[in-house]
Structure 1
Amino acid sequence: MTFSIVARCAETGQFGVAISSSSPAVAARCAWAEAGIGAVSTQNVTNPALGPLMLSALAEGADAAAAVAKAATEDAFPDYRQLLAVDAQGGVAVHSGAKALGIWTSATGRDCAAGGNLLAHDGVPAAMVSAFEKTSGALGDRLIAALQAAIAAGGEAGPVRSAGLLIVDRESWPYAELRIDWLDEGCPVAAVARAWEVYSPQARDYVTRALDPSAAPSYGVPGDE
Protein backbone atom coordinates (compact mmCIF):
# COMPACT_ATOMS: atom_id res chain seq x y z
CA MET A 1 0.00 0.00 0.00
CA THR A 2 3.08 2.20 -0.19
CA PHE A 3 5.90 3.47 -2.37
CA SER A 4 8.99 5.16 -1.00
CA ILE A 5 12.56 6.18 -1.69
CA VAL A 6 15.47 6.44 0.74
CA ALA A 7 18.45 8.52 -0.31
CA ARG A 8 21.70 10.22 0.60
CA CYS A 9 23.14 13.47 -0.75
CA ALA A 10 26.82 12.83 -1.42
CA GLU A 11 27.60 16.56 -1.37
CA THR A 12 25.93 17.59 1.89
CA GLY A 13 25.73 14.29 3.77
CA GLN A 14 22.00 14.73 4.26
CA PHE A 15 19.71 11.69 4.33
CA GLY A 16 16.05 11.56 3.44
CA VAL A 17 12.92 9.53 2.87
CA ALA A 18 9.99 10.38 0.63
CA ILE A 19 6.90 8.20 0.84
CA SER A 20 3.23 7.96 -0.11
CA SER A 21 0.42 5.50 0.51
CA SER A 22 -3.30 4.81 0.38
CA SER A 23 -3.07 4.33 4.15
CA PRO A 24 -3.29 7.25 6.60
CA ALA A 25 -0.20 8.85 8.19
CA VAL A 26 2.25 6.67 6.30
CA ALA A 27 5.30 8.79 7.12
CA ALA A 28 4.58 8.57 10.85
CA ARG A 29 5.04 4.79 10.81
CA CYS A 30 7.38 4.12 7.93
CA ALA A 31 10.00 6.88 7.45
CA TRP A 32 13.11 6.97 9.64
CA ALA A 33 16.44 8.81 9.37
CA GLU A 34 19.32 9.85 11.61
CA ALA A 35 21.94 12.49 10.92
CA GLY A 36 25.30 11.01 9.97
CA ILE A 37 23.89 7.49 10.05
CA GLY A 38 21.40 6.82 7.25
CA ALA A 39 17.77 6.62 6.21
CA VAL A 40 15.40 3.67 6.19
CA SER A 41 11.82 2.77 5.39
CA THR A 42 9.77 -0.07 6.86
CA GLN A 43 6.56 -0.68 4.93
CA ASN A 44 4.00 -3.09 3.47
CA VAL A 45 2.40 -4.76 6.53
CA THR A 46 4.41 -2.35 8.63
CA ASN A 47 6.38 -3.05 11.77
CA PRO A 48 7.54 0.43 12.85
CA ALA A 49 10.05 -1.08 15.28
CA LEU A 50 12.19 -2.15 12.34
CA GLY A 51 13.00 1.47 11.49
CA PRO A 52 14.92 2.21 14.71
CA LEU A 53 16.39 -1.30 14.61
CA MET A 54 17.94 -0.67 11.18
CA LEU A 55 19.20 2.77 12.19
CA SER A 56 20.75 1.30 15.33
CA ALA A 57 22.53 -1.33 13.25
CA LEU A 58 23.85 1.37 10.92
CA ALA A 59 25.06 3.41 13.91
CA GLU A 60 26.93 0.37 15.17
CA GLY A 61 28.83 0.09 11.87
CA ALA A 62 26.67 -2.20 9.76
CA ASP A 63 26.26 -1.31 6.12
CA ALA A 64 22.84 -1.02 4.50
CA ALA A 65 22.73 -4.67 3.47
CA ALA A 66 23.65 -5.91 6.93
CA ALA A 67 21.16 -3.56 8.61
CA VAL A 68 18.32 -4.76 6.39
CA ALA A 69 19.33 -8.38 6.89
CA LYS A 70 19.40 -7.91 10.67
CA ALA A 71 15.88 -6.45 10.66
CA ALA A 72 14.56 -9.23 8.43
CA THR A 73 16.21 -11.88 10.61
CA GLU A 74 15.02 -10.50 13.94
CA ASP A 75 11.43 -9.80 12.85
CA ALA A 76 8.97 -12.63 13.44
CA PHE A 77 7.20 -12.11 10.10
CA PRO A 78 9.80 -11.05 7.50
CA ASP A 79 7.74 -12.39 4.60
CA TYR A 80 5.24 -9.57 5.20
CA ARG A 81 7.80 -6.77 5.35
CA GLN A 82 9.38 -4.47 2.81
CA LEU A 83 12.53 -2.72 4.08
CA LEU A 84 14.80 -0.13 2.45
CA ALA A 85 18.05 1.42 3.70
CA VAL A 86 20.84 3.76 2.63
CA ASP A 87 24.01 4.08 4.70
CA ALA A 88 26.63 6.77 5.26
CA GLN A 89 28.72 5.57 2.31
CA GLY A 90 25.77 5.59 -0.07
CA GLY A 91 25.32 1.83 0.05
CA VAL A 92 21.73 0.68 -0.39
CA ALA A 93 19.70 -2.45 0.27
CA VAL A 94 16.11 -3.66 -0.01
CA HIS A 95 14.21 -6.61 1.43
CA SER A 96 10.82 -7.52 -0.01
CA GLY A 97 9.12 -10.48 1.65
CA ALA A 98 7.30 -13.08 -0.40
CA LYS A 99 3.96 -12.04 1.12
CA ALA A 100 4.24 -8.37 0.19
CA LEU A 101 0.93 -7.12 -1.17
CA GLY A 102 -0.15 -6.93 -4.80
CA ILE A 103 2.45 -5.96 -7.38
CA TRP A 104 5.64 -5.27 -5.45
CA THR A 105 9.16 -4.54 -6.58
CA SER A 106 12.16 -2.32 -5.94
CA ALA A 107 14.97 -0.50 -7.72
CA THR A 108 18.34 0.82 -6.62
CA GLY A 109 20.56 3.59 -7.93
CA ARG A 110 23.38 5.90 -6.94
CA ASP A 111 22.84 6.79 -3.26
CA CYS A 112 19.18 5.71 -3.38
CA ALA A 113 16.75 2.82 -3.24
CA ALA A 114 13.03 2.78 -4.01
CA GLY A 115 10.39 0.17 -3.37
CA GLY A 116 6.67 -0.30 -3.34
CA ASN A 117 3.76 -2.68 -3.00
CA LEU A 118 0.22 -2.73 -4.37
CA LEU A 119 1.68 -0.81 -7.28
CA ALA A 120 -0.04 0.04 -10.52
CA HIS A 121 2.81 -1.81 -12.27
CA ASP A 122 6.34 -2.96 -11.53
CA GLY A 123 8.05 0.02 -13.20
CA VAL A 124 7.16 2.56 -10.50
CA PRO A 125 10.29 2.19 -8.30
CA ALA A 126 12.57 2.39 -11.35
CA ALA A 127 10.83 5.62 -12.36
CA MET A 128 11.50 7.01 -8.89
CA VAL A 129 15.20 6.15 -9.03
CA SER A 130 15.53 7.61 -12.52
CA ALA A 131 13.90 10.88 -11.45
CA PHE A 132 16.08 11.13 -8.36
CA GLU A 133 19.26 10.59 -10.36
CA LYS A 134 18.29 13.01 -13.12
CA THR A 135 17.18 15.86 -10.85
CA SER A 136 19.74 18.39 -9.64
CA GLY A 137 19.65 20.62 -6.59
CA ALA A 138 18.81 20.01 -2.95
CA LEU A 139 18.08 16.55 -1.62
CA GLY A 140 14.49 17.59 -0.92
CA ASP A 141 14.02 18.65 -4.54
CA ARG A 142 15.31 15.28 -5.73
CA LEU A 143 13.12 13.32 -3.32
CA ILE A 144 10.03 15.27 -4.32
CA ALA A 145 10.86 14.64 -7.98
CA ALA A 146 10.98 10.92 -7.21
CA LEU A 147 7.53 10.99 -5.59
CA GLN A 148 6.12 12.97 -8.48
CA ALA A 149 7.61 10.49 -10.94
CA ALA A 150 5.93 7.64 -9.07
CA ILE A 151 2.56 9.38 -9.40
CA ALA A 152 3.18 10.08 -13.08
CA ALA A 153 4.08 6.42 -13.62
CA GLY A 154 0.80 5.26 -12.07
CA GLY A 155 1.70 5.05 -8.38
CA GLU A 156 -0.43 2.65 -6.41
CA ALA A 157 -3.19 0.54 -7.88
CA GLY A 158 -5.66 2.82 -6.03
CA PRO A 159 -5.62 6.46 -4.92
CA VAL A 160 -2.97 7.63 -2.46
CA ARG A 161 -4.15 9.49 0.64
CA SER A 162 -1.02 10.36 2.63
CA ALA A 163 2.58 11.34 1.93
CA GLY A 164 5.65 12.62 3.70
CA LEU A 165 9.15 14.00 3.32
CA LEU A 166 11.80 13.51 6.03
CA ILE A 167 15.32 14.98 5.79
CA VAL A 168 18.10 15.01 8.37
CA ASP A 169 21.26 17.08 8.17
CA ARG A 170 23.78 17.56 11.03
CA GLU A 171 21.52 18.07 14.03
CA SER A 172 19.67 15.52 16.13
CA TRP A 173 16.31 16.80 14.89
CA PRO A 174 14.93 16.73 11.34
CA TYR A 175 16.06 19.37 8.88
CA ALA A 176 12.60 18.99 7.36
CA GLU A 177 9.64 16.81 8.27
CA LEU A 178 6.61 17.53 6.13
CA ARG A 179 3.54 15.31 6.21
CA ILE A 180 0.07 15.04 4.79
CA ASP A 181 -1.57 12.40 6.96
CA TRP A 182 -4.88 12.18 5.07
CA LEU A 183 -6.58 13.77 2.08
CA ASP A 184 -10.10 12.84 1.03
CA GLU A 185 -9.65 14.70 -2.25
CA GLY A 186 -6.58 15.77 -4.19
CA CYS A 187 -3.06 14.38 -4.24
CA PRO A 188 -1.00 14.26 -1.03
CA VAL A 189 2.22 14.17 -3.05
CA ALA A 190 1.30 17.49 -4.65
CA ALA A 191 0.49 18.88 -1.20
CA VAL A 192 3.85 17.78 0.23
CA ALA A 193 5.61 19.19 -2.82
CA ARG A 194 3.94 22.54 -2.18
CA ALA A 195 4.88 22.40 1.50
CA TRP A 196 8.51 21.77 0.54
CA GLU A 197 8.40 24.66 -1.93
CA VAL A 198 7.35 26.96 0.92
CA TYR A 199 9.60 25.44 3.59
CA SER A 200 12.86 24.88 1.74
CA PRO A 201 13.92 28.56 1.47
CA GLN A 202 13.49 28.86 5.27
CA ALA A 203 14.91 25.50 6.35
CA ARG A 204 18.41 26.74 7.13
CA ASP A 205 17.00 29.75 9.01
CA TYR A 206 15.16 27.42 11.38
CA VAL A 207 18.44 25.66 12.15
CA THR A 208 20.12 29.01 12.84
CA ARG A 209 17.29 30.03 15.16
CA ALA A 210 17.83 26.87 17.17
CA LEU A 211 21.61 27.08 17.37
CA ASP A 212 22.13 30.85 17.60
CA PRO A 213 19.00 33.00 17.84
CA SER A 214 21.12 36.17 17.94
CA ALA A 215 22.26 35.46 14.38
CA ALA A 216 18.82 34.48 13.10
CA PRO A 217 17.06 36.52 10.43
CA SER A 218 13.69 38.14 11.00
CA TYR A 219 10.96 35.69 11.85
CA GLY A 220 8.72 37.23 9.22
CA VAL A 221 5.57 37.35 11.35
CA PRO A 222 3.36 40.32 12.30
CA GLY A 223 4.97 42.37 15.07
CA ASP A 224 8.50 41.16 14.34
CA GLU A 225 10.58 44.28 13.62
Structure 2
Amino acid sequence: MTFSVIARCARTGQFGMAVSSSSPAVTSRCAFARAGVGVVASQNVTDPRLGPAGLDLLERGASAAECRDILVRNADFSEFRQLAILDACGDGAVWSGERTLGCHATFIEKNVVSAGNMLASQSVPEAVGKAFLEADESLDLGERLVIAMLGGLEAGGEAGPVRSAGMIVVDRQSWPLVDLRVDWDDEPVGRLAELWKVWQPQMNDYVTRCLNPLSAPSYGVPGDE
Protein backbone atom coordinates (compact mmCIF):
# COMPACT_ATOMS: atom_id res chain seq x y z
CA MET A 1 0.00 0.00 0.00
CA THR A 2 3.03 2.28 0.30
CA PHE A 3 6.30 3.42 -1.18
CA SER A 4 8.66 5.85 0.49
CA VAL A 5 12.10 7.39 0.63
CA ILE A 6 14.10 8.44 3.67
CA ALA A 7 17.27 10.46 3.24
CA ARG A 8 20.03 12.53 4.75
CA CYS A 9 21.47 15.59 3.03
CA ALA A 10 25.25 15.32 3.32
CA ARG A 11 25.58 19.06 2.59
CA THR A 12 23.23 20.38 5.31
CA GLY A 13 22.78 17.48 7.71
CA GLN A 14 19.01 17.61 7.24
CA PHE A 15 16.93 14.43 7.42
CA GLY A 16 13.69 13.84 5.57
CA MET A 17 11.09 11.43 4.31
CA ALA A 18 8.49 11.37 1.56
CA VAL A 19 5.81 8.72 1.30
CA SER A 20 2.69 7.86 -0.70
CA SER A 21 -0.05 5.29 -0.16
CA SER A 22 -3.46 4.11 -1.27
CA SER A 23 -4.60 4.78 2.30
CA PRO A 24 -5.57 8.21 3.65
CA ALA A 25 -3.30 10.31 5.88
CA VAL A 26 -0.24 8.13 5.34
CA THR A 27 2.32 10.61 6.68
CA SER A 28 0.70 10.81 10.12
CA ARG A 29 1.28 7.09 10.64
CA CYS A 30 4.52 6.42 8.79
CA ALA A 31 6.97 9.33 8.85
CA PHE A 32 9.18 10.17 11.83
CA ALA A 33 12.34 12.30 11.86
CA ARG A 34 14.40 14.13 14.48
CA ALA A 35 16.98 16.84 13.86
CA GLY A 36 20.55 15.62 14.25
CA VAL A 37 19.35 12.09 14.98
CA GLY A 38 17.85 10.36 11.95
CA VAL A 39 14.63 9.20 10.36
CA VAL A 40 12.41 6.14 10.79
CA ALA A 41 9.66 4.94 8.44
CA SER A 42 7.08 2.53 9.86
CA GLN A 43 4.86 1.15 7.10
CA ASN A 44 2.91 -1.80 5.67
CA VAL A 45 0.51 -2.67 8.53
CA THR A 46 1.67 0.40 10.39
CA ASP A 47 2.58 0.72 14.06
CA PRO A 48 3.21 4.45 14.64
CA ARG A 49 4.78 3.69 18.01
CA LEU A 50 7.84 2.31 16.25
CA GLY A 51 8.83 5.70 14.82
CA PRO A 52 9.40 7.58 18.10
CA ALA A 53 10.81 4.44 19.72
CA GLY A 54 13.33 4.09 16.91
CA LEU A 55 14.33 7.75 17.09
CA ASP A 56 14.90 7.41 20.83
CA LEU A 57 17.21 4.46 20.18
CA LEU A 58 19.14 6.40 17.54
CA GLU A 59 19.46 9.40 19.85
CA ARG A 60 20.95 7.15 22.53
CA GLY A 61 23.63 6.03 20.07
CA ALA A 62 22.24 2.94 18.35
CA SER A 63 23.20 2.45 14.71
CA ALA A 64 20.46 1.99 12.14
CA ALA A 65 21.01 -1.78 12.16
CA GLU A 66 20.97 -1.95 15.96
CA CYS A 67 17.82 0.16 16.05
CA ARG A 68 16.10 -2.18 13.57
CA ASP A 69 17.10 -5.30 15.49
CA ILE A 70 15.86 -3.92 18.81
CA LEU A 71 12.56 -2.75 17.34
CA VAL A 72 11.92 -6.05 15.58
CA ARG A 73 12.85 -8.07 18.64
CA ASN A 74 10.56 -6.11 20.97
CA ALA A 75 7.66 -5.07 18.73
CA ASP A 76 4.28 -6.74 18.75
CA PHE A 77 3.45 -8.47 15.45
CA SER A 78 6.78 -7.61 13.83
CA GLU A 79 5.96 -10.02 11.01
CA PHE A 80 3.44 -7.42 9.74
CA ARG A 81 5.81 -4.46 9.83
CA GLN A 82 8.06 -2.85 7.27
CA LEU A 83 10.75 -0.51 8.58
CA ALA A 84 13.28 1.80 6.97
CA ILE A 85 15.82 3.53 9.22
CA LEU A 86 18.60 6.04 8.63
CA ASP A 87 21.00 7.08 11.39
CA ALA A 88 23.05 10.24 11.97
CA CYS A 89 25.95 8.86 9.92
CA GLY A 90 23.71 8.24 6.91
CA ASP A 91 23.80 4.46 7.32
CA GLY A 92 20.55 2.61 6.64
CA ALA A 93 18.72 -0.53 7.68
CA VAL A 94 15.45 -2.15 6.60
CA TRP A 95 13.03 -4.81 7.76
CA SER A 96 10.18 -6.45 5.86
CA GLY A 97 8.33 -8.97 7.99
CA GLU A 98 7.15 -12.24 6.50
CA ARG A 99 3.59 -10.90 6.29
CA THR A 100 4.50 -7.74 4.37
CA LEU A 101 1.80 -7.23 1.77
CA GLY A 102 2.06 -8.01 -1.92
CA CYS A 103 5.10 -7.28 -4.05
CA HIS A 104 7.61 -5.60 -1.75
CA ALA A 105 11.23 -4.50 -1.97
CA THR A 106 13.85 -2.18 -0.44
CA PHE A 107 16.87 -0.19 -1.60
CA ILE A 108 19.82 1.06 0.51
CA GLU A 109 22.74 3.32 -0.32
CA LYS A 110 24.64 5.83 1.78
CA ASN A 111 22.25 8.58 2.92
CA VAL A 112 19.13 7.09 1.29
CA VAL A 113 16.74 4.18 1.84
CA SER A 114 13.58 3.35 -0.09
CA ALA A 115 10.99 0.73 0.78
CA GLY A 116 7.60 -0.29 -0.53
CA ASN A 117 4.85 -2.87 -0.43
CA MET A 118 2.00 -3.77 -2.77
CA LEU A 119 4.19 -2.38 -5.54
CA ALA A 120 3.72 -2.54 -9.29
CA SER A 121 7.17 -4.17 -9.43
CA GLN A 122 10.16 -4.84 -7.20
CA SER A 123 12.15 -2.25 -9.16
CA VAL A 124 10.24 0.71 -7.67
CA PRO A 125 12.40 1.29 -4.54
CA GLU A 126 15.56 1.15 -6.62
CA ALA A 127 14.09 3.72 -9.02
CA VAL A 128 13.21 5.94 -6.06
CA GLY A 129 16.66 5.66 -4.53
CA LYS A 130 18.51 6.22 -7.78
CA ALA A 131 16.39 9.25 -8.62
CA PHE A 132 17.37 10.74 -5.28
CA LEU A 133 21.07 9.98 -5.75
CA GLU A 134 21.12 11.35 -9.29
CA ALA A 135 19.48 14.64 -8.31
CA ASP A 136 21.76 17.66 -7.95
CA GLU A 137 23.15 17.68 -4.40
CA SER A 138 22.91 21.49 -4.31
CA LEU A 139 19.10 21.24 -4.34
CA ASP A 140 17.09 21.43 -1.13
CA LEU A 141 16.51 18.05 0.44
CA GLY A 142 12.77 18.52 -0.06
CA GLU A 143 13.28 18.98 -3.80
CA ARG A 144 15.35 15.79 -4.02
CA LEU A 145 12.67 13.87 -2.11
CA VAL A 146 10.01 15.05 -4.57
CA ILE A 147 12.24 14.02 -7.48
CA ALA A 148 12.68 10.60 -5.88
CA MET A 149 8.94 10.06 -5.45
CA LEU A 150 8.24 11.10 -9.03
CA GLY A 151 10.88 8.57 -10.07
CA GLY A 152 8.98 5.91 -8.17
CA LEU A 153 5.75 6.81 -9.93
CA GLU A 154 7.48 6.65 -13.30
CA ALA A 155 8.71 3.13 -12.42
CA GLY A 156 5.13 2.03 -11.72
CA GLY A 157 4.55 3.04 -8.12
CA GLU A 158 1.98 0.99 -6.29
CA ALA A 159 0.01 -1.81 -7.86
CA GLY A 160 -3.14 0.30 -7.48
CA PRO A 161 -3.91 4.03 -7.32
CA VAL A 162 -2.38 6.13 -4.54
CA ARG A 163 -4.51 8.54 -2.54
CA SER A 164 -2.27 10.30 -0.02
CA ALA A 165 1.29 11.58 0.18
CA GLY A 166 3.45 13.68 2.43
CA MET A 167 6.91 14.90 3.28
CA ILE A 168 8.79 15.90 6.41
CA VAL A 169 12.24 17.48 6.67
CA VAL A 170 14.04 18.36 9.90
CA ASP A 171 16.97 20.75 10.13
CA ARG A 172 18.36 22.26 13.38
CA GLN A 173 15.20 22.95 15.33
CA SER A 174 12.97 20.64 17.35
CA TRP A 175 10.11 21.12 14.89
CA PRO A 176 10.02 20.18 11.19
CA LEU A 177 11.30 22.63 8.60
CA VAL A 178 8.90 20.93 6.16
CA ASP A 179 5.68 19.10 7.02
CA LEU A 180 3.45 18.84 3.96
CA ARG A 181 0.51 16.47 3.58
CA VAL A 182 -1.98 15.50 0.92
CA ASP A 183 -4.46 13.31 2.74
CA TRP A 184 -6.88 12.36 -0.07
CA ASP A 185 -6.39 13.14 -3.75
CA ASP A 186 -6.40 11.40 -7.12
CA GLU A 187 -2.79 12.51 -7.80
CA PRO A 188 -1.25 13.02 -4.36
CA VAL A 189 2.42 12.92 -5.38
CA GLY A 190 1.79 15.61 -8.00
CA ARG A 191 -0.09 17.69 -5.43
CA LEU A 192 2.79 17.23 -3.00
CA ALA A 193 5.17 18.58 -5.64
CA GLU A 194 2.90 21.62 -6.04
CA LEU A 195 2.76 22.20 -2.28
CA TRP A 196 6.54 22.02 -2.10
CA LYS A 197 6.82 24.79 -4.71
CA VAL A 198 4.59 26.99 -2.53
CA TRP A 199 6.38 26.22 0.73
CA GLN A 200 10.04 26.14 -0.36
CA PRO A 201 10.53 29.90 -0.96
CA GLN A 202 9.21 30.82 2.49
CA MET A 203 10.11 27.86 4.73
CA ASN A 204 13.19 29.48 6.26
CA ASP A 205 11.29 32.72 6.92
CA TYR A 206 8.99 30.85 9.28
CA VAL A 207 12.00 29.65 11.27
CA THR A 208 13.23 33.25 11.54
CA ARG A 209 9.79 34.43 12.61
CA CYS A 210 9.94 31.98 15.47
CA LEU A 211 13.51 32.63 16.59
CA ASN A 212 13.60 36.41 16.06
CA PRO A 213 10.45 38.13 14.76
CA LEU A 214 12.27 41.50 14.71
CA SER A 215 14.50 40.30 11.89
CA ALA A 216 11.78 38.45 10.00
CA PRO A 217 10.59 39.59 6.56
CA SER A 218 7.22 41.20 6.10
CA TYR A 219 4.24 38.98 6.76
CA GLY A 220 2.40 40.37 3.77
CA VAL A 221 -0.90 40.87 5.62
CA PRO A 222 -3.02 44.00 6.15
CA GLY A 223 -1.48 46.24 8.81
CA ASP A 224 2.01 44.77 8.43
CA GLU A 225 4.61 47.42 7.70
Task: Answer whether TM exceeds 0.5 for this pair.
Answer: yes
- Residues in 2 aligned to 1:163 and 1:69: alpha-carbon distance in whole angstroms: 28
Counterpart-to-counterpart distance in 1, 2:47 and 2:98: 16
Q: Determine if contact 1:110/1:133 at 8 Å carries over to the other structure.
A: no
CA RMSD of aligned residues (A): 0.8
* Match in the other structure for 2:196: 196
The aligned residue for residue 162 of structure 2 is 160
1:123-161, CA deviations, whole angstroms, 9 ceiling, x for partnerless residues? 000000000001111100110111111111110000000
Query: Does the residue aligned with 1:40 lie in a helix, a strand or coil?
Result: strand
TM-score, normalization by structure 1: 0.97
Distance 2:147 2:110 in 1: 15
Cα distance in 1 for partners of 2:60, 2:117 equals 30
SS in 1 for 2:98: coil
SS at match of 1:47: coil
1:70 Cα shift? 1.1
Q: How does 1:31-46 map to 2 (within 5 A)?
A: 31-46=31-46
Structure 2, gaps ≥5 residues long: none
1:100 partnered with 2:93? no
Of the three residues 136, 144, 150, the one matched with 2:152 is 150
**Structure-2 residue corresponding to 1:177:** 179
Report how far residue 203 of structure 1 moved.
Answer: 0.8
Amino acid at match of 1:99: R
1:206 aligned counterpart, secondary structure = helix
In 2, Cα distance between equivalents of 1:182 and 1:67: 32
The aligned residue for residue 221 of structure 2 is 221
Q: Does 1:114 align with 2:119?
A: no
Match of 2:141 in 1: 139
TM score, norm. by length of structure 2: 0.97
Equivalence for 2:210 = 210
**In the aligned structure 2, how far is the partner of 1:214 from the partner of 1:99?**
54
Aligned to 1:13: 13
Count, aligned residues:
223
